[in-house]
Amino acid sequence: MVTIFKGPNMLDIYDDLNSKEHLPDIPEHQLSDEQVLVELEKIKTRLGDRVVVLGHHYQQDDVIAFADITGDSLELAKKAATISSADFVMFCGVHFMAETADMLTKPHQKVILPDLRAGCSMADMANRREIDLAWAYMKKCTSDKIIPITYINCSAALKSFVGENDGSICTSSNAEKIITWGLNQGEKLLFFPDQHLGRNTCFKLGIDLDEMVVYDPRQRNGGLTPEEIQKAKVILWYGFCSVHQGFNVSQIKTWRESEPDRLLIVHPECSFEVVQGADLAGSTSFIINQIKAAPPGSKFAVGTEINLVNRLAKTYPQVDIKSLSPYQCLCTTMYRVRPRWLLESFRAIERGEPINVISVDDVTKKFALKALDTMLSIS
């Protein structure tokens, strides 16, 4: 179970920014976006080292401007765990990231998610009840040992399931190592919640597509027969990232025809066909490092979230960086963390009434940490 603590009248904040009850030291009229940024700068300075702000790569620039540390979800959580002087960890990301940070930080620290609506569509595609049902069905279908592997983009409850069943968590950076480990531990893998990362990584490791099946919890028994379960080496959950699934083969073809010298680099959460059509595929850190190391004049079309693509283009102006897609590939749930909600979270701390504190219960934490420790020991 994951507990979310809300400060007094938190739900009203979203509906009434003018209320003196919620913003006692702000003029009656609603703050402009510019005023919010000014107030944020002031309060962040006042609170100093008491609060550390973590900003995920997919956040917009006006949020990243206030981040003390930027990175991907696990990188941010691990760094937060080393900052024992901060009483509060403000996680500008999504819900599952804040949960992971809570599990890795010290007992006296509180992890805050500026907007409770900041979730993850992929993480929401698998819940503990569905996984338990799937697990029971698979165990009934085969006597082979199944090793559960979960992508870090999931709830603490699913991380706990993996720990309870002697599996491991993985990230897009270490998925090859973790999957290789898993296949050495048993005869089959259950990989969730992202089918694309699982399929792309397993194929790269030499597993044929016909050895992989997709379990869809929306169908009876996942849409799989006992024979299909018995035959499969890898059982992939049906989930996906709505941002990365938006990239397609037609975009690959367009770039190939218009600019054949442009390097196409994508995230492994993209579909199998897109990854196969690209020149390079790898984690967010991989993409950043490839562009960082590229000689001036290099040209990239990048298949990942648009805020990161735009930030890379600004950071490395000597490299020509475009989005693989002509459309805005925006993580809408990450977008919900805005400076206005960040400001209210800071003000609540200053009032001594912190809001949106994310807390994972001890039992869930115990087994989720076991899965995290397994991953860290492997990678």
Q: State both tokens at 26.
A: 């702000």
* CA nearest to 91, candidates 288, 375, 364, 359: 359
- Other C-beta atoms lying within 10 Å of the C-beta of residue 70: 17
Q: What percent of the chain shows pLDDT beyond 70?
A: 92
For the chain, give the mean pLDDT.
90
Instruction: Write out pLDDT tens, residues 7-40.
Output: 433 333 333 333 333 444 553 247 888 999 999 9
pLDDT number for residue 333: 76
* Whole-number Å distance between alpha carbons of 92 and 309: 18
342 burial (CB, 10 Å; 0-12 / 13-18 / 19+) is buried
Instruction: Write out pLDDT tens, residues 62-114.
Output: 999 999 999 887 788 788 889 888 999 999 999 999 999 999 999 999 999 99
Q: Alpha carbon of 304 to those of 55, 61, 96, 343: distances in Å?
A: 17, 16, 20, 28
* CA nearest to 78, candidates 198, 173, 184, 148: 173
- The listed range with the strongest mean pLDDT (82-86, 292-296, 373-377) is 292-296
Query: Looking at per-residue confidence, does 5 or 32 come out higher?
Result: 32
Q: Is the pLDDT of residue 273 over 50?
A: yes
Sign of dihedral through CA atoms 372, 139, 182, 125? negative
Q: Which domains does the chain have, with CATH numbers?
A: 2-120+333-360 (3.40.50.10800), 123-240 (3.40.50.10800), 244-323 (3.40.50.10800)
